[in-house]
């Protein structure tokens, strides 16, 4: 284990002993002999490949195969039979079979996936049968897994070989010891450290249209559940962002099932199938049986599942079963599931998460450029992961939000405290993931150090906060300035000191040792046995050194020979001159074995020296014993640490929370954000609001962001926003939604003042994205999203809508835009920011204030006159009742003497009737001839109207 973790790939490998007890898969024993594969025969490096064991690459493969069948043996060789059995047992997986120093792919696996891995296709002959074959050195495993699992979302069954423990046996066992899928990554190097790696199970209940969800990150042990329904499922997926989804096995052959369709529509998810009890089965099942199931799978406290519905229990059990199945019985620590209660978080639909670029940009779906990237000032990986969760799941409880805001303010007001916290958090490592690796039997001393360092840093945090609280209380005599936010007090009270664990790790792990070796990670004095072994080893090594020094002196000094390892002859002495060779023989009284004379150009002479070989054998034996000793000490240490796993995880959660809140405090100071006031009203009042990301982008260009006010809700239920192209309408809409989300996740916000009535849902209709892959046109997508908002927005929701109806003809578009406005006003009754180029809507809703009707002025080079045609039409229609709580606002521009415009980006009362689309087209570089034609057409249309 130790050496595998360092020198080879990082994918975890179980010791044979533990495998025996847990692996249910059949293993086949094969005795090995070297056989050349067809692959090797065609290799240009054939000769070199034979020279030295381990000096191979994917082009030169010496394959160890099962014993060649003798005359009477059955047709299939044992290895071939084993491969076929495994291929049949893991049909959904890419099967990688360890053979000697290689992982190999056979048959369809070689044909389908070899090229993905950049491997040259070969063939191998088993008892007369030629099969497709390719392979790669085992050290390239991580790199190849990244391609298969991360890039191509494939499942990989990793088949390892194990030496038979029978003395003298040359047989090997092979069995799949782990199935690696996107959602079950543990410590692979390609696991994203800043993101949770969620595995989501979905239990369906068609009759009630309800779903039970459970999601688990095996790399941290965090586990959540939620009840949801078919209609909200897409939004839940957008929020959770799972890497892999588990569905009931009976949906495997039902691609039209609504849930499968939703998953398909949402994009790139890996879907796996696992047996699940339906809700009805769960209902009639003996409760004890269900709970025993959970116990048997994970030593999981069954009471954890009791509060959940049948559906959710079913999803929880499916996830445990799937983990059990892919980890082949290894049991990661799984935390008590936390339930997301309906209404406890703001529902942000998936379009809004995407359109507001909360966690990914629209352009290239990257984190860089997103709001998350902009606000992430966390110091720890756990903090960064938590921030992403908070951003997509803001709270609805004023009390909880204020709890967070209090803590941010508390930190912000004490620069010394902030400085110290920052320093302590910088010391923290990813202890929760380190603990999880330990629980899965991967013992890397560096992980123990990560846990120790983190727990020590946390102890400093606890002392520092406790100190601060005591000083505050002492100095103010209980006055107002002695107010200690609950979260601060809770952090100080609940961080558990784990000094005994830290002490144990300090005692055991020798942190001065270099990573790249097989032993020496444990302090020598930890046990008398280890001390004795190290002493013997040192003695032997010094004897060897003295012997070699003697030879050097006899041979005339200055590196006259080299000691090398050689497969077959073990240690050899290589000399460059025959004179030296003769002298060495003389020193050793002729006790040398001449092993080879090589090399035409440099006459190198090689001898096997029995006394040296003997000494090196002893050294290796001792080193082997030390490795074993260290393993058992590490195992015992692991067991003691795992005893405290609950406390360690709890402590890690405090680190993550503190880290995020400290990040909010830093951001508030750096960017001059203010504390929002949350209330129970249905009004959003923001003075001097800014868009956090656009503001920063403009700052980088040396430009200035224009602040804007917004007071939407109640008497001003809907803001109807018109303005020229490029005027800043979308930015304004987005910034108000973002401010609301930031405030409800407990952050300060970019504004001069913010009084916000809590929202239950945030909806947006912003993007112009189409979904051609799902046969949906741009307009169809627009209408689907609009329909969803009209169906789901409540009086407490915040809706932002940008240019509804633009995807169809002007007449249809205007009618749809009006009806949307009408529905939001009369049915949903929710706060809405409604941006449009259809300024006629102002007339239709009877909302346009007469004084604000003045347009910026008729301009030669452009007004979008088609709208005016509609305007004329509706002006003559007197039947529309006024929408009294609709208010008209506009962004404007200022014409310059040289015929250009300056965008003001200021949101003011009024209606803008000129979109100046042709001006923007010119700015965008449209050919002058095209601009001229558009002006003429516009002129004609205006006259017709
Ligand atoms: N408040 C502001 N202060 C400074 N610059 C701004 C502001 N708002 C927007 N801008 C700048 O104007 C650009 C265009 O803004 P935005 O896309 O919001 O305009 P729009 O009115 O929605 O345009 P269109 O109608 O063409 O979609 C932004 O990319 C940004 O650079």
| Closest alpha carbon to 410 in 496, 490, 487, 495 | 487
For 307, the 3-state DSSP assignment is coil
In a domain, 924, yes or no: no
pLDDT at 389 over 90: yes
> Which pLDDT score is estimated for 166?
66
- Whether 16 shows a pLDDT value over 50: the answer reads no
Q: If pLDDT is split at 50, 70 and 90, which confidence band does 1 have?
A: very low
Determine the structural domain holding residue 338 and report its residue range. Answer: 199-342
| Model pLDDT for residues 360-375, shown as the tens digit of each residue | 998 888 899 999 999 9
Domain endpoint, select from 149, 180, 211:
180
Residue corresponding to tokens 């047992």 = 89
114/156 same-domain check: yes
Give the integer Cα–Cα distance in Å for 281 and 290: 11
pLDDT, tens digit, 9 for 90 and up, residues 764-804: 998 644 444 445 677 788 888 898 899 999 999 999 999 88
Is residue 366 one of the residues assigned to a domain? Answer: no
Single out the residue in 342, 366, 395 at which a domain terminates.
342
Ligand 1 site, residue 916, Cβ cutoff 6 A: no
Cβ(726) – ligand 1 distance below 6 Å: yes
Position with higher pLDDT, 586 vs 742: 742
- 766 with 885, same domain: the answer is yes
pLDDT confidence tier of residue 866, bands split at 50, 70 and 90:
very low
**Structure confidence at residue 440 (pLDDT):** 85
Which residues, 6 or more positions from 538, have their beta carbon under 8 angstroms from its beta carbon?
Answer: none
Q: Cα–Cα distance between 585 and 582 in angstroms, integer?
A: 5
pLDDT score for 769: 47
Q: Is residue 264 one of the residues assigned to a domain?
A: yes
pLDDT band at 214 (very low <50, low <70, confident <90, very high): very high
- By alpha-carbon position, which residue is closest to atom 14 of ligand 1? 726
Q: How big is the CA angle at 417 (ends 415 and 423), to the nearest 5 degrees?
A: 105
CATH of residue 62: 3.40.1170.10
Q: Which of 264-268, 652-656, 935-939 has the highest mean pLDDT?
A: 652-656
Find out whether the beta carbon of 727 lies less than 6 Å from any atom of ligand 1.
Answer: yes
Q: Are 746 and 390 in contact (CB under 8 A)?
A: yes
Does 890 contact ligand 1 (Cβ within 6 A)? no
Q: Helix, strand, or coil here: 912? A: coil
pLDDT tens-place string over residues 512-537: 766 667 788 899 899 999 999 999 99
Instruction: Note whether 133 and 266 are same-domain residues.
Output: no
- Give how many domains the chain has, as a whole number: 5
Ligand 1 near 750 CB (within 6 A): no
Residues 747, 664 contacting (CB under 8 angstroms): yes
What is the residue with the minimal CA distance to atom 16 of ligand 1? 728
State the DSSP string of 165-233.
-STT--EEEEEEEEEE-GGG-SS-TTS-TTS---EEEEEEETTTTEEEEEEE-TTT--EEEEEEEGGGH
Residue nearest atom 1 in ligand 1 by C-alpha distance: 706
User: Looking at 572-576, 580-584, 856-860, which range is the least confident one?
Assistant: 856-860
Paired strand residues for 273: 247
| Distance from Cα 226 to the centre of ligand 1, integer Å | 39
Domain annotation covers residue 369? no
**Cα of 706 to ligand 1 centre, how many Å?**
10
Residue 599 has pLDDT above 60, yes or no: no
Q: Whose CA is nearest to atom 5 of ligand 1?
A: 705
Residue-wise pLDDT for 614-673, tens only, equals 888 899 899 999 999 999 999 999 999 999 998 999 999 999 999 999 999 999 999 999
- Mutate which of 730, 803, 915 to test ligand 1's pocket (most atoms within 8 Å of Cβ)? 730
Integer Cα distance of 72 and 851 in angstroms: 103
pTM for this one? Answer: 0.81
Instruction: State in Å: Cα 917 to ligand 1 middle.
Output: 14
C-alpha to C-alpha distance for 867 and 877, rounded to whole angstroms: 16
Between the CA of 766 and the centroid of ligand 1 the distance, in Å, is 14
Using the mean position of ligand 1's atoms as its centre, give its distance from the Cα of residue 726 in Å.
5
Last residue of a domain, one of 145, 180, 215: 180
Whether residue 889 has its Cβ less than 6 Å from ligand 1: no
Angle between helices 445-476 and 610-643 (to 10 degrees): 40
Mean pLDDT in residue range 58-80 = 47
Which residues does residue 902 pair with via DSSP β-bridges, in sequence order? 894
Q: Ligand 1, residues 690, 694, 710: which to mutate, most atoms within 8 A of Cβ?
A: 694
> CATH number of the domain that 550 lies in?
1.10.1420.10
**Whether residue 856 sits in one domain with residue 748:** yes
> Does ligand 1 have an atom closer than 6 angstroms to the CB of 705?
yes
Give domain status of residue 186, yes or no.
no
Instruction: Band the pLDDT of 277: cuts 50, 70, 90.
Output: confident
* CB 694 less than 6 A from any atom of ligand 1: yes
| Higher pLDDT among residues 602 and 138, named by residue | 138
CATH number of the domain where residue 906 is located: 3.40.50.300
Backbone dihedral region for residue 590 (phi beyond 0: left; psi -120 to 50: alpha; all else: beta): left
Binning pLDDT at 50, 70 and 90, where does residue 180 land? Answer: very high
Q: Is residue 564 in some structural domain?
A: yes
Question: Per the domain annotation, does 923 fall within a domain?
Answer: no
For residue range 327-352, list pLDDT tens digits in order: 887 888 888 899 998 889 999 988 89
Residues 305 and 396 in one domain: no
- Model confidence pLDDT, tens digit, residues 670-682: 999 999 999 999 9
For residue 330 and ligand 1, the question of a CB distance below 6 A is answered with no
Decide: 892 in ligand 1 pocket, CB within 6 A: no
Q: Three-state secondary structure along 706-760?
A: CCEEEEEECCECEEEEECCCCCCHHHHHHHHHHHHHHHHCCCCECCCEEEEECCC
Q: Are 915 and 725 in contact (CB under 8 A)?
A: yes
- Supply the pLDDT for residue 736: 98
Atom of ligand 1 nearest to the CA of 891: 21
Mean pLDDT (whole number) for 208-214? 94
Look over the chain and give the mean of its residue pLDDT values, rounded to a whole number. Answer: 82
Please calculate the CA angle 860-866-867 and round it to the nearest 5 degrees: 100
Asked if 464 and 420 count as a contact pair (C-beta separation under 8 A), the reply is: yes
Q: Is the CB of 728 under 6 A from ligand 1?
A: yes
User: pLDDT class for 922, splitting at 50, 70, 90?
Assistant: confident
Does any ligand 1 atom lie closer than 6 A to the CB of residue 731? yes
Per-residue model confidence as pLDDT tens digits over 165-179: 666 666 677 889 889
Q: Give the other-Cβ count within 10 Å of 476's Cβ.
A: 12
Predicted local distance difference test score (pLDDT) of residue 377 = 96
Task: Write the CB contacts of 567 (distance below 8 Å, at least 6 apart in sequence).
Answer: 52, 53, 54
| Same domain membership, residue 17 and residue 120 | yes
**CA 727 to ligand 1 center in whole angstroms:** 5
Claim to verify: residue 737 and residue 876 sit in the same structural domain = yes
Distance 905 CA to ligand 1 centre (A): 7
- The C-alpha angle with vertex 282 and arms to 276 and 286, in degrees rounded to 5, equals 125
**How many angstroms separate the alpha carbon of residue 36 from the centre of ligand 1?**
68
Identify whether 934 is part of a domain. no
**465 and 533 housed in the same domain:** no
Helix (H) or strand (E) holding 453: helix 445-476
Q: In which band, very low, low, confident or very high, does the pLDDT at 934 lie, cut at 50, 70 and 90?
A: confident
Give the residue with greater pLDDT, 227 vs 126. Answer: 227
When pLDDT is cut at 50, 70 and 90, the band that residue 687 belongs to is: very high
**pLDDT reported for residue 87:** 92
Q: So what's the pLDDT on residue 170?
A: 64
Q: In this structure, are 706 and 821 located in the same domain?
A: yes
**Confidence tier at 68 by pLDDT (50, 70, 90):** very low
Give yes or no: residues 418 and 535 share one domain: no
Residues 728 and 763 in one domain: yes
In percent, the amount of the chain with pLDDT more than 70 equals 81
In terms of domains, do 6 and 23 share one?
Answer: yes
For 694-706, what is the mean pLDDT?
93
Average pLDDT over residues 896-916: 82
CA 511 to chain centre: 29
Give the range among 680-689, 881-890, 914-923 with minimum mean pLDDT. 914-923
């Amino acid at each position: 284990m130790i050496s595998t973790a360092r020198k080879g790939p990082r994918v975890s490998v179980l010791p044979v002993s533990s495998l025996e007890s847990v692996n249910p898969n059949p293993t086949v024993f094969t005795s090995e002999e070297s056989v050349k594969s067809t692959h090797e025969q065609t290799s240009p490096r054939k000769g070199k490949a034979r020279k030295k064991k381990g000096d191979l690459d994917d082009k030169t493969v010496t394959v160890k195969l099962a014993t060649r069948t003798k005359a009477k043996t059955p047709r299939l060789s044992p290895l071939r039979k084993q491969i076929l059995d495994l291929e049949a047992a893991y049909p959904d997986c890419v099967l990688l079979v360890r053979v000697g120093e290689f992982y190999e792919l056979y048959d369809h696996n070689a044909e389908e996936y070899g090229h993905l891995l950049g491997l040259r296709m070969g063939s191998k002959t088993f008892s007369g049968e030629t099969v497709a074959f390719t392979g790669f050195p085992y050290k390239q495993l991580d790199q190849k897994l990244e391609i298969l699992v991360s890039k191509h979302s494939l499942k990989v069954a990793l088949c390892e070989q194990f030496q038979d423990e029978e003395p003298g046996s040359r047989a090997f066992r092979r069995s799949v010891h782990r199935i690696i899928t996107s959602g079950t990554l543990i410590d692979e190097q390609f696991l994203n450290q800043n993101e949770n790696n969620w595995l989501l199970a979905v239990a369906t209940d068609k009759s009630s249209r309800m779903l039970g969800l459970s999601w688990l990150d095996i790399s941290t042990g965090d586990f959540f559940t939620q009840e949801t329904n078919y209609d909200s499922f897409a939004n839940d997926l957008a929020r959770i962002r799972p890497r892999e989804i588990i569905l009931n096995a009976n949906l495997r052959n039902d691609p039209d099932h609504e849930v499968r369709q939703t998953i398909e529509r949402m994009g790139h998810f890996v879907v796996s199938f696992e047996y699940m009890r339906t809700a009805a089965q769960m209902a009639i099942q003996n409760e004890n049986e269900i709970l025993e199931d959970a116990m048997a799978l994970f030593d999981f406290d069954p009471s954890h599942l009791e509060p959940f519905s049948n559906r959710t229990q079913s999803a929880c059990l499916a996830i445990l079963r799937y983990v059990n199945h892919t980890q082949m019985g290894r049991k990661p620590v799984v935390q008590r599931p936390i339930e997301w209660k309906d209404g406890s978080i703001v529902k942000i639909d998936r379009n809004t998460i995407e359109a507001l670029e909360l966690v990914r940009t629209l352009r290239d779906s990257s984190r860089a450029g997103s709001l998350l990237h902009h606000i992430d000032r966390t110091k720890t990986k756990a903090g960064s992961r938590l921030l992403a969760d908070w951003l997509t799941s803001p709270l609805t409880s004023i009390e909880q939000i204020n709890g967070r805001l209090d803590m941010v303010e508390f930190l912000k007001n004490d620069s010394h405290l902030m400085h110290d916290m920052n320093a302590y958090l910088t010391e923290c490592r990813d202890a929760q993931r380190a603990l999880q690796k330990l629980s899965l039997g991967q013992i890397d001393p560096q992980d123990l150090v990560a846990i120790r360092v983190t727990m020590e840093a946390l102890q400093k945090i606890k002392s520092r906060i406790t100190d601060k609280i005591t000083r505050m209380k002492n100095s103010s005599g209980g006055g107002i300035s002695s107010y200690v936010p609950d979260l601060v007090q809770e952090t100080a009270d609940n961080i558990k000191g784990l000094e005994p664990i830290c002490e144990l790790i300090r005692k055991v792990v020798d942190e001065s040792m270099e990573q790249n070796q097989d032993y020496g990670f444990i302090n020598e004095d930890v046990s008398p046995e280890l001390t004795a072994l190290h002493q013997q080893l040192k003695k032997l090594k010094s004897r060897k050194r003295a012997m070699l020094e003697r030879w050097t002196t006899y041979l005339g000094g200055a590196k006259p020979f080299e000691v090398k390892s050689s497969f077959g002859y073990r240690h050899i002495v290589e000399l460059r001159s025959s004179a030296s060779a003769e002298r060495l023989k003389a020193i050793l009284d002729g006790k040398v074995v001449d092993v080879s004379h090589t090399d035409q150009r440099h006459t190198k002479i090689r001898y096997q020296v029995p006394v040296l070989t003997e000494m090196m054998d002893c050294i290796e034996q001792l080193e082997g014993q030390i490795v074993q000793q260290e393993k058992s000490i590490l195992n015992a240490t692991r067991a003691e640490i795992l005893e405290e796993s609950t406390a360690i995880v709890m402590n890690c959660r405090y680190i993550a929370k503190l880290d995020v809140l400290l990040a909010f405090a830093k951001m508030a100071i750096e960017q001059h954000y203010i504390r929002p006031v949350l209330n129970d009203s249905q009004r959003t009042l923001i003075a001097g609001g800014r868009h956090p990301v656009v503001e920063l982008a403009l700052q980088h260009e040396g430009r200035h962001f224009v602040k804007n006010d917004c007071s939407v809700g109640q008497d001003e239920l809907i803001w109807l926003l018109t303005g020229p192209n490029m005027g800043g309408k979308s930015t304004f809409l987005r910034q108000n939604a973002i401010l609301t989300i930031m405030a409800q996740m407990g952050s300060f916000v970019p504004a001069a003042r913010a009084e916000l009535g809590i929202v239950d849902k945030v909806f947006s209709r912003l993007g112009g994205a189409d979904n051609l892959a799902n046969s949906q046109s741009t307009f169809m997508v627009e209408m689907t999203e609009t329909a969803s908002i009209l169906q789901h927005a409540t009086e407490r929701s915040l809706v932002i809508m940008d240019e509804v109806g633009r995807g169809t003809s002007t007449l249809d578009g205007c009618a749809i835009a009006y009806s949307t406005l009408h529905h939001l006003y009369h049915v949903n009754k929710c706060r809405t920011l409604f941006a449009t180029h259809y300024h006629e809507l102002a007339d239709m809703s009877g909302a346009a204030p007469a004084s604000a009707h003045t347009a910026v002025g008729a301009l030669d080079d452009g007004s979008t006159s088609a709208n005016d045609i509609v305007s004329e039409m509706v002006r003559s229609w007197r039947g529309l009742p006024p929408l009294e709580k609709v208010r008209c606002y506009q962004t404007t521009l200022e014409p310059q003497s040289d015929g250009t415009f300056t965008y003001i980006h200021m949101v003011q009362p009024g209606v803008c009737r000129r979109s100046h689309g042709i001006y923007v087209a010119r700015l965008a570089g449209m050919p002058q001839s095209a601009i001229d034609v558009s002006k003429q057409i516009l002129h004609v249309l205006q006259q017709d109207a």
